[in-house]
Structure 1
Amino acid sequence: MVQSYSKNANHNMRRPVVKEEVVRYMRTRQKGNEGYLAELEAFAHRENIPIIPQETVAYFRFLMQTMQPKKILEIGTAIGFSALLMAENAPQSKITTIDRNEEMIGFAKENFAKYDSRNQIRLLEGDAADILSRLKETYDFVFMDSAKSKYIVFLPEVLERLAVGGVVVLDDVFQGGDIARPIEEVRRGQRTIYRGLQRLFDATLKHPNLTATLVPLGDGLLMIRKNIPEIKLAD
């Protein structure tokens, strides 16, 4: 039994923001996970561990095979599902993934030992706020799937380490549609996330030196391309 994800965890990401019949269609018509990725997907669903849903998996498969990034940074490892998905579809890449949840780190280490056959993945244990400032590499692709209220906190450090032309993908930014509502209509326990995401959108969507787009897959993706070497985000 997995202990660190409550059965009463944030369920916003499970409330489709696209029509439910369209979501079902995307999930059944597109290629599903196979082999060990299908096993990890089933384990995550059984244990209430959030991983990217099938429609986002299909999109990531396309992105990785098309972009073929050489260096990938991931913030939020969980059981290692998305890192392994990226490794499988970008076989020349080196992936650095960060997590601080000890229980998830244990599962991720076990899964990487079993399935990371090309030794592509390096797991860093600890708080991303501490680790990011110590990273010296430049990355072509960054996937952020951690505390949503911290996206705006982590993003300046991420952009510093992102190559010009590189892409950042931030997951679960719609919060089941809450993000489009007045804050008074959002449950009090979700308002910190709401405020953090609104700050994120304010800082990125119309930034003159970023190209940003919102994609209605899963619980929403924010995709950002870095267009010049030095990026300053508004406070």
Structure 2
Amino acid sequence: MDSVTDYLRQTVPKHKKWMAELESYAHEHQIPVMEPVSLHFLTQIVRMKKPKTILEIGTAIGYSALCMHNAYPTSKITTIEKNESMYQLALKNIKKQEKESKIDIIFGDALEEVNVLALNNIAFDIIFIDAAKGQYKRFFELVQPLLKKDGIIICDNILFRGYVVNDSTVNNKRLQNLAKKIRDFNEWLTRNEDYHTSIIPIGDGVSVSIKKNNI
């Protein structure tokens, strides 16, 4: 699989200068950002869907939000980040690209802020979840009322370095517990009768859930 991953990375178009700079910063400071192949897949979905609105759970430094905007510049993106240092970095990066009018960053816990969005009757074409992995089921359940009728929910890191397949190779109880939570989430998600879900084995694993027309 490593050779396949290397091959796929070679097929990804060369990143723009600002993308390469943000990616380099993230790697230097050990800040997780979406892997190139997964990111390319995400932005391809954005191009195909042509969303008016996107919700992102987990901003980090603003990398994926900026990439989604770049894929379809007319979309309005709302992104939520609870880590203050990440929030400040994302603000800086988004201002540097002059995208403040298109990307709205909310500082707070998504488990609380999503309820505020719901009270304001805001709905989204795409919801992208890339935050605390152990909370994925709660995030998914919480954002469902915000999803438009033909909307898509995308989750990153749902293969968790392959630990979801076999966590016995992990000599770390916390990682084992996290792998189990993600594995349980994947099972719950793929059996959820309200969505058509596919798990794509690229990067660290990406799930795509399309709301069925009867709900």
Structure 1: where are the runs of 5+ without partners? 1-18, 231-235
CA contact (8 A) 1:145 1:172 kept: yes
**Residue 61 of structure 1: aligned partner:** 43
CA contact (8 A) 2:129 2:139 kept: no
CA contact (8 A) 2:197 2:210 kept: yes
Alignment of 1:104 onto 2:86: yes
- Distance in 2 (CA, whole Å) between partners of 1:219 and 1:229 is 31
Picking from 147, 154, 157, the partner of 2:139 is: 154
Alignment of 1:145 onto 2:107: no
**Residue 233 of structure 1: aligned partner:** none
Structure 2: where are the runs of 5+ without partners? none
- Cα RMSD after superposing both structures: 1.6
CA contact (8 A) 2:124 2:146 kept: yes
CA contact (8 A) 1:159 1:226 kept: no
- Distance in 1 (CA, whole Å) between partners of 2:30 and 2:89 is 14
**Residue 77 of structure 1: aligned partner:** 59
Residues 150-195 of structure 1 show CA distances to partners (whole Å, capped at 9, x for unaligned) of 01011111111111221111110111111112x5554311133223
- Distance in 2 (CA, whole Å) between partners of 1:176 and 1:118 is 34
What TM-score, normalized by structure 1, do the two folds share? Answer: 0.85
Alignment of 1:197 onto 2:179: no
Residues 50-71 of structure 1 show CA distances to partners (whole Å, capped at 9, x for unaligned) of 1111111221231121111111
1:224 partner amino acid: S
1:201 partner amino acid: N
**Residue 219 of structure 1: aligned partner:** 204
Partner SS for 1:179: coil
- Distance in 1 (CA, whole Å) between partners of 2:21 and 2:214 is 41
**Residue 178 of structure 1: aligned partner:** 163
Residues 104 and 118 (structure 1 numbering): CA distance in 2 closer, same or farther, change over 3 Å? closer
**Residue 8 of structure 2: aligned partner:** 26
- Distance in 1 (CA, whole Å) between partners of 2:174 and 2:15 is 34
1:111-126 correspondence to structure 2 within 5 Å: 111-117=93-99, 119-126=101-108
Alignment of 1:210 onto 2:195: yes
Residues 21-48 of structure 1 show CA distances to partners (whole Å, capped at 9, x for unaligned) of 1111111232021121111111111111
Q: Percent identity?
A: 29
| Bigger relative CO (Cα 8 Å, ≥ 6 apart) | 1
- Distance in 2 (CA, whole Å) between partners of 1:31 and 1:50 is 21
Shift of 1:92: 1.1
